[in-house]
Amino acid sequence: MNRDHLTIGLAQIAPVWLNRKMTLDKVLAYTADGGEKGADLIVFGESLVPGYPFWVELTDGARFNSAVQKEIHAHYMQNAVSIERGDLDELCALAKQKQIAIYLGTIERPEDRGGHSLYCTLVYIDKNGQIQSVHRKLMPTYEERLTWSPGDGHGLVTHKLGAFTLGGLNCWENWMPLPRVALQAQGEDLHVSVWPGHLRNTVDIARFMALEGRSYVAAVSGLMRKSDFPADTPHLDKILANAPDMLSNGGSCLAGPDGEWVIDPHSNVGEETLRLAEIDHQKVREERQNFDPAGHYSRPDVTRLVVNRQRQSIVEFDEE
């Protein structure tokens, strides 16, 4: 195999909404399929496990001290991912078995922040089945702030995979110039952006980021239909009363370092699919000839970025 080449899989799937176990079963199935088809990397959408908080805008989510909001949020918390508990262990084992790396969007309930707050977290698992980064979304967007907590810079790291250097961000983080620069400065040339899912979110920014970074950019969305809400969802009647038939329509895509589509976002709208593409690092090197945003086309004597990658915590213990 040509070391410059890498096969990436874009897994555009719907969760079994707010059901961690059943959604992880789907992730396992798609990961196994990607591995069998020769993918080196498979990417899943933002907050896929156990799902995006669609209820907030559909059920008067900003009403303070609402019993409805408390009950749905408690259900959400109960189905969130605890890495410390081992919720991703089976997926890590499969990554090692299939020799496939994974970017997975989760809702994380981390013990290092007390175990009762939720974070929109992008997890990277390498081909040896090791979790290499846990990136908590820096700033939840709009109504997301009613259920997700702000993250930190600990996960602003890159990873080597073959000839490529990978980095990833959640949803509207991709609009934030400085986090993009933080990854570019670490050699990123395959940028992974994950989204809850809609063509309007992917069709413009994927090509823009590819041109800006002279990198491949994968934009991977989830999918959500009315039929993806389980019958035992708390207050399902209230959620469905205001929900459209299609809440998230996908639009996953892959742009090359010249800004041209490798996988067009219009090609898979509204369907669950695993799309694979082989990418070539030679294309990155060609496009960096005239523009390299963190290299020869930067001026660190004029503008520089300082990044705090310390994991944030409310307490620090000094042990004797």
Residue 275 is encoded by which pair of tokens?
């799309």
pLDDT for residue 211 is more than 70: yes
To the question of pTM greater than 0.75 for the whole model, the response is: yes
Confidence at 320, pLDDT banded by 50, 70, 90: confident
Question: Average pLDDT in the 231-249 region?
Answer: 95
Question: Average pLDDT in the 41-68 region?
Answer: 97
Rounded to an integer, what distance in angstroms lies between the CA atom of residue 314 and that of residue 237? Answer: 38
pLDDT for residue 36 is more than 80: yes
The whole-number pLDDT of residue 316 equals 87
The whole-number pLDDT of residue 159 equals 98
Question: Average pLDDT in the 203-215 region?
Answer: 97
Find out whether 43 and 205 touch, Cβ atoms under 8 Å: no
pLDDT for residue 1 is more than 90: no
Question: Average pLDDT in the 243-259 region?
Answer: 97
Residue 202 is encoded by which pair of tokens?
């992917």
5-287 homologous superfamily: Carbon-nitrogen hydrolase (3.60.110.10)
The whole-number pLDDT of residue 319 equals 86
Rounded to an integer, what distance in angstroms lies between the CA atom of residue 148 and that of residue 61? Answer: 13
Mean pLDDT for the chain overall: 97
For the chain, the domains span 5-287
Active site residues: 46, 137, 171
Question: Average pLDDT in the 277-299 region?
Answer: 97
Question: Average pLDDT in the 14-31 region?
Answer: 98
The whole-number pLDDT of residue 32 equals 98
Rounded to an integer, what distance in angstroms lies between the CA atom of residue 112 and that of residue 255? Answer: 36
Question: Average pLDDT in the 221-242 region?
Answer: 95
Q: Which residue has the tokens 């790396």?
A: 101
Burial code of 198-233, b = ≥16 C-beta within 10 A, e = fewer?
bbebbbebbbebbbbbbbbbbbbbbbbbeebbeeeb
Rounded to an integer, what distance in angstroms lies between the CA atom of residue 263 and that of residue 248? Answer: 19
Rounded to an integer, what distance in angstroms lies between the CA atom of residue 126 and that of residue 46? Answer: 18
The whole-number pLDDT of residue 2 equals 77
